[in-house]
A and B are shown apart, each in its own frame.
Chain A
Amino acid sequence: GAGVSQSPRYKVAKRGQDVALRCDPISGHVSLFWYQQALGQGPEFLTYFQNEAQLDKSGLPSDRFFAERPEGSVSTLKIQRTQQEDSAVYLCASSLAQGPREQYFGPGTRLTVT
C-alpha cells in the first residue's frame, strides 16, 4: 500500500522567504510527527498531532515554525522568514495508534536556505 509521502522532496529558499512542506500520512493513521534532521545527526522531534489536535509542539525551534493538520490527515509544516540554520531534512512520520509506536517515515524534504 501507499506509504507516507512528502512534497516537495527538495526546496531551495532564499533567506527571509516563507516555505510550506507537505506531508501525506498513511490513510487512517491517527498520529503524525514532524522531525528535523541535520546532516550526520539523528532526527529531532518537532511536533506531534493526534488526529487534528496538535498535542505537543515543544520541539519547534522558534515561533517562525508552524504546523497544522486541519482535517486529521494531511499536515503542513510552515517556516516563516527562513534562516540558514533552518537548512535540514524535514521528516514526517505517521503511526496507526496514539503515540510513537511503529512510526512510518516519509522520504523527507531537504530544505536549503541560501
Chain B
Amino acid sequence: LAKTTQPISMDSYEGQEVNITCSHNNIATNDYITWYQQFPSQGPRFIIQGYKTKVTNEVASLFIPADRKSSTLSLPRVSLSDTAVYYCLVDFSGGYNKLIFGAGTRLAVHP
C-alpha cells in the first residue's frame, strides 16, 4: 500500500529552524508533494507544494532530492504559533483513494 512515513513527533525551541522529513518510496512520475499544517479543531491548511528540487515561499521551503523518494519541509525560525501537526501528502497517482495523509508529525515549539 502506497503511503508516506513521517516522524511521530518533534520538539524545537523558538527561533530555531525545523526540518521534517517525509518518505514516499512509491511516488510516481506525475505525483506532487504537498505539506499541510493543522491546528486543533481546524481543517488542515496548505503550506507548500513541490515536484522536484527546491520550492520556497514566505513561510517554508521544500526540498526534494532527485529520486523524489523523500521530501523535507523546512520551517525557518519557528515560533510558539508553529506548534501544530504537519502532514505530508502525495498524490499517489492511480486514484484519489490513494490520497493518504498518514498520522502526521506533531511539532511542539518551546519558549
**A residues with CB within 8 A of B:** 4, 33, 35, 40-45, 48, 55-56, 58-59, 91, 93, 99-108
Contact = CB atoms under 8 A, between A and B. Distances in A.
B95 A105 contact: no
A76 B61 CA distance: 36
A73 B97 CA distance: 22
B43 A106 contact: yes
A48 B44 contact: no
B49 A102 contact: yes
Nearest to B98: A45
Contact of A41 (B44, B99, B103): B103
A6 B99 CA distance: 21
Contact of A103 (B41, B46, B95, B100): B46
B99 to A, nearest CB: 4
Contact of B99 (A100, A102, A108): A100
Contacts of B91: 99-100
Contacts, number: 64
Contacts of B43: 4, 91, 93, 105-108
Interface residues of B, number: 23
B97 A45 contact: yes
Contacts of A105: 36, 43-45
Contact of B96 (A55, A91, A107): A55
B101 to A, nearest CB: 3
A32 B108 CA distance: 31
B18 to A, nearest CB: 19
Given A101-B32, A106-B43, A42 B99 contact: no
A82 to B, nearest CB: 21
A83 B49 CA distance: 37
B105 to A, nearest CB: 10
Contact of A100 (B41, B45, B96, B102): B96
A59 B99 CA distance: 10
